[in-house]
Structure 1
Amino acid sequence: MLLTLSGLTKRYPTGDLALKGVNLEVPKGQVMALIGPSGAGKSTLIRCVNRLVEPTSGSVVLDGTEITGLGAAALRRARRRMGMIFQEYALVERLTVMENVLSGRLGYVGFWSSWFRRFPRRDVEEAFRLLHRVGLDHMVDKRADALSGGQRQRVGIVRALMQDPQLLLVDEPTASLDPKTSRQIMRLILELCEERGLAAIINIHDVALAQQFARRIVGLRAGEIVFDGPATELTPEVLTTIYGEEDWSQTIRAVEEDEEEAVPA
């Protein structure tokens, strides 16, 4: 098992209990969608995995390494194996596409090399290769603040892959994108995970996209897992359990009728 969460709990200083003893396993190579209403604890769960948010109790084990028990230096090394893709891209606006992408290697190069942006040739070659893969090789010298939302998200994806991770933690990658670009970004993430054998946890609000692009769905409500199963079992009744009473039939039907976006075998 690549990732194991055991009794993961997070209580904020305000007293709010964001996660209530979550138990979750993610095998190598599996893409999992994490859904649930706002405030359910989805972003908190993802950030507890790489300790951008410190868990209150419980454990996070990545490929045999207990993440929650690591000191600062060991945690920096462990984070290399967890690529993070953010909703708001988290790019340095004044830097170029290439400079933002190469920042994904900061955990591997020394301080002065990173300060002067001196990266090994193999890192630069890999950056070019990945930018070509996502269709941005013609924009290497363009500043991040000149890119569209979809282009920025592609840069964020490449930056995460530059870490050579085992696991992608993806936090609402389509929240700021139009419907067509959202599908393109989800398709790209899935294809890259399959090509590189990566596991991924994708926090996503769009239920239809989750059903179209992920085989496994985990539903979170009030800090607890209330559903964990294949996308085909995400019925209106299950969505009511996750989100509350609503007519979910149109959501389910829309997904079932969209055969073009079937998850690859």
Structure 2
Amino acid sequence: MLSLKSLTKTYRTGDKALVSVDIDIPNGQVVALIGPSGAGKSTLIRCINRLVEPTSGQVLLDDVDVTALSSSGLRRERRRMGMIFQEYALVERLTVMENVLSGRLGYVGFWRSFLRKYPQSDIDEAFRLLDRVGLLAMADKRADELSGGQRQRVGICRALIQNPALLLVDEPTASLDPKTSRQIMRLICELCQERGLAAIINIHDVALAQMFVQRVIGLQSGAIRFDGPPDGLSPDVLTEIYGEEDWQATIRKDEDEDTEAAVA
């Protein structure tokens, strides 16, 4: 389980990016994090793995206080927090397989990874993951030969080969077309269910979040304004999170849209 207790981030300018955030996420639950630009979504994700240092509060992952760890302890704990990035963060000149195996860097050490001497068990797992996401035939292709959706699948495999307890996902569909966005969201949710993984997905597309996740948390000015099931995102709630907008059209899902999502 992931627990955030009074998590706060205040910058030296005095601006508050997060204001006493309290969240509990059980294993296996996928949570969408929504809110306007500047609401604190990316900061929240980065405070969890301490890419951004929180000002106060606690991050507990299975009772380990991440905020209290030393540098060496944090490096070990980060192996249990897989990160999936908006811009994929792949090494373009490396193959798909090499990019996936880079997720084992925290386990095999610098020289073994530099010499590309990974254990056979890691290689076998990489092949299994690539097969699961439909990229087995592309294991030897360079990353710069892939489409956006394929790159994101490689990023998913790289995160999962860490054998994490938690996935932190930052805008995974922002650079993708609508059909590929649905495929990626469905894949992430299915993999979390299969592995019993908790996940936080920072996502800008409210309708896409509603389509796939079990729980939505809405941030506004660094504070939680909504925490509940997707069908609780009424126009009034969305107005509180984002401001005035024609939310009735945004959250409406007609029969054709549901059918398209099911077959995509």
**Global fold match (TM > 0.5):** yes
SS at match of 2:253: helix
Equivalent residue letter for 2:232 = E
Structure 1 distance, partners of 2:77, 2:220, is: 29
Unaligned stretches of 5+ residues in structure 2: none
Aligned to 2:242: 243
Identical pairs, percent? 73
8 Å CA contact 2:182–2:261 kept in 1: the answer is no
Structure 1 distance, partners of 2:224, 2:259, is: 30
1:172 aligns with 2:193: no
Structure 2 distance, partners of 1:188, 1:28, is: 17
Q: TM-score, normalised by structure 2?
A: 0.96
Structure 2 distance, partners of 1:104, 1:111, is: 12
Deviation at 1:190, TM superposition (A): 0.7
Root-mean-square deviation (Å): 1.4
1:36-70 deviations in whole A, cap 9, x for unaligned? 00000000000000011110111100001000010
Equivalent residue letter for 2:5 = S
Aligned to 1:4: 3
Equivalent residue letter for 2:60 = V
8 Å CA contact 1:8–1:22 kept in 2: the answer is yes
Equivalent residue letter for 1:47 = R
1:66-120 deviations in whole A, cap 9, x for unaligned? 0001011111110111100000001111111000000001111122111211100
SS at match of 2:93: coil
Distance 1:25 1:262, change over 3 A: farther
Structure 1 distance, partners of 2:132, 2:114, is: 27
1:109-144 deviations in whole A, cap 9, x for unaligned? 122111211100010000001001111111111111
Structure 2 distance, partners of 1:261, 1:49, is: 35
1:193-220 deviations in whole A, cap 9, x for unaligned? 1111111000000000000011100000
1:238-264 deviations in whole A, cap 9, x for unaligned? 10111011111111213676434789x
Structure 1 distance, partners of 2:239, 2:249, is: 13
Aligned to 1:62: 61
Q: Which of structure 1's runs of 4+ aligned residues deviate more than 3 A?
A: 255-263
SS at match of 1:209: helix
Return 105-114 or 87-96, whichever deviates more.
105-114
1:222 aligns with 2:214: no
8 Å CA contact 2:210–2:230 kept in 1: the answer is yes
Structure 2 distance, partners of 1:95, 1:111, is: 16
Unaligned stretches of 5+ residues in structure 1: none
8 Å CA contact 2:49–2:78 kept in 1: the answer is yes
1:160-179 deviations in whole A, cap 9, x for unaligned? 00000011000000000000
Structure 2 distance, partners of 1:252, 1:129, is: 37
Aligned to 1:13: 12
- Number of residues of Structure 1 aligned to a counterpart in Structure 2: 262
Matches within 5 A, 1:115-126: 115-126=114-125
